Structure 1
């Protein structure tokens, strides 16, 4: 019989030895739980990298196309001034206004500069002609600073080119105007950009989390052994677990669409069917991720931790919270792997621009490829578990 057992009062007192034993036990459990240990180290590093390097609320070098019906030293000087401001990056020329609108609808460019055919002649006559800059304003934060820099550019052209006999044209007023046309969101209303994007956030959070707990729940309850003993194929198990959550995701998408239309008055230019088909594809992508995480995790806590690791880059690198064009190249490369990036472009394009399947296809096939790849990974890990 130990001394502590013989003395009940000693058991009631705080014991440093017992306390230290509990501390050591917790450290041992943390060391054995690799996912938790990865969260301890990986999460701060991920947040430092994303917030410190990837996030930029003042995007620059935005893709810009030019429709040049008039070419002269003045127009070339204005284009050079646009690039020198670092807000604009010339990516090519377009033949006409129709091609410019198509490029804006597809998201290939952020701005289109149109130079009228009589620009130089009117400028030399002192008639103060105007240049037209069309902006894809679906995300006001991505274009706001660049648009604010445009009114100063005519003064640079006047200082650089209007000299000698042309000096009187560089008077108090700028020698020409720059008219800005904000397309798809002319008033710069933030809700028009945020609310459609929230559909992607909600679907990602709920679909990945709910399916991420599916297999780990069965494993903890002991029903996984019974499932593994059946002749059910891995692909049948995966798809069978996914189908019920598809209907849940469609219900959530419907709630967001109704709120966007009747509460926040978000424009609904495109097809309702296109929105639901895009949502269905995105739901499938998230469900495959959730099933894959549940196959990798040993318990529900690990599944939740892996879900958070997946959810954080989707929020920060998809263009939902911060302008995608303002991120460095490596961050955009990561964002282009995530299905939320493509879904945001699709749903905003449908609601605000009226995009059809021709414009949506560049965002459809990467998401479909993502589903195939992740599903193959999920089936492979399931087979390892089966073996």
Structure 2
């Protein structure tokens, strides 16, 4: 009887907690559906440029599985590749291929490009087979691995994930312990409380961001073509975004378990739509999720520095987006405090 009573009490407790019940039953289905949509997307179609290609050569090629663009000069094709409009380009000298140039920052895209070129070579010169040409790389090299390409995304993800969880739970404890209630009753203004908490947590956020970036690059040997200072700046800005978001969402949780429930909704979509999977292979109605998440901009900025070796001009736009997210979440934090009720 006592065991049955205990079991009934637990069942009733779950039934009363509608959010926990929904997370247990619905969240796994949402994540599985997301995985299905992401990994069962379309095959990637390479974007290939032709420089000085004769019409007779183009007419021989099967261009159904590529996006082809013609250019009059190598300079124009190179600018398009650096702008990510092309995955690479083929330069012709008369009817013959003179050289192949790859943008190079994504090994899987490089493989798709070279696979098409080998097939195209058989169409152009069936008796000679594929020409012995070594591809040139604008970024990276033929030795670049998947970890080098995925590394910036993973670096940003772990910085975001741990800061989000730690800041959310810490701020939640401030509420449940009564400390926040006392601060709200003090002469401190709402925005002063929010800024004070963010500065306090921000010190440890800076330490964590520095440690993660340093360990990944100098201990694990993650590819690093640009300046380490920029990597620290990007990671810090992302961590501040995670910090402000974590403190904001903690206002809607009554305990640590409910705070962790935000992971499938907030963390998981960012992981898949931050560039870990090529967004061009995902349906248009789903790929829009990427640009509304902070990790999307942080991952692109980290790739620009770590893989492509760019500088400030390439990342300042992404940093502004991260700063905008942080400012938005801080503003919403102030509004949440105004409606705060003691737990």
Range into which the TM-score falls when normalised by the shorter chain: 0.7 to 0.9
Aligned mates of 1:280, 1:351 — CA distance in 2: 16
Map Cα deviations across residues 165-189 of structure 1 (whole Å, 9 max, x no partner).
Answer: xxxxx55224867753344221132
**Residue aligning to 2:160:** 204
Residues 76 and 236 of structure 1: CA distance in aligned 2, closer, same or farther (over 3 Å): farther
Structure 2 partner of 1:111: 87
Q: TM-score, normalised by structure 1?
A: 0.77
Alignment match of 1:357 (pick from 312, 316, 325): 312
Alignment counterpart, residue 13 of structure 2, candidates 22, 29, 41: 29
- Structure 1 partner of 2:52: 69
Matching of residue 381 in structure 1 with residue 332 in structure 2? no
1:271 partnered with 2:227: yes
Task: Count the aligned residue pairs.
Answer: 341
* Aligned twin of 2:24: 40
DSSP-derived class of the 1:246 partner: helix
RMSD value over aligned CA atoms?
2.9
Larger Rg: 1
5+ residue gaps, structure 1: 1-14, 124-128, 159-169
| 8 A Cα contact 2:241 2:294, kept in partner | yes
Q: Does residue 233 in structure 1 map to residue 211 in structure 2?
A: no
Aligned to 2:278: 323
2:206 pairs, out of 250, 268, 278, with 250
CA deviations over 1:240-285 (Å, ceiling 9, x no partner): 2222333323323333333344334344322233222222221121
- Which residue does 2:105 correspond to in 1? 138
State the secondary structure of the residue aligned to 1:213: helix
**What TM-score do the two structures reach when normalised by structure 2?**
0.86
User: How many Å apart are 1:36 and its aligned residue?
Assistant: 1.0
Instruction: Give CA-to-partner distance per residue, 1:120-149, whole Å, 9 cap, x none.
Output: xxx2xxxxx215443333332344234323
Q: What's 1:332 paired with?
A: 287
SS at match of 2:44: coil
1:22, distance to aligned residue in structure 2 (A): 2.7
| 2:67 maps to 1:89 | yes
Q: Spell out the pairing of 1:79-228 with structure 2 (5 A cutoff).
A: 81-82=62-63, 84-85=64-65, 88-90=66-68, 96-106=73-83, 108-116=84-92, 118-119=93-94, 123=95, 129-130=96-97, 132-156=99-123, 158=124, 170-174=125-129, 180-186=135-141, 187-228=143-184
Structure 2, unmatched stretches of 5+, are none
Report how far residue 53 of structure 1 moved.
0.7
Question: Are residues 1:55 and 2:42 paired?
Answer: no
Say if 1:103 and 1:213 are closer, same or farther in 2 by CA, change over 3 A.
farther
Secondary structure of 1:66's counterpart equals: strand
What secondary structure, in the 3-state scheme, does the structure 1 residue paired with 2:292 have? coil
Task: Select between 25-34 and 42-51 the one with higher mean Cα deviation.
Answer: 25-34
> Are 2:14 and 2:20, in contact at CA under 8 Å, matched by a contact in 1?
yes
Query: Partners of 1:104 and 1:248 in 2: how far apart?
Result: 39
- Tell whether the 8 Å contact from 2:122 to 2:129 is kept in structure 1 after alignment: yes
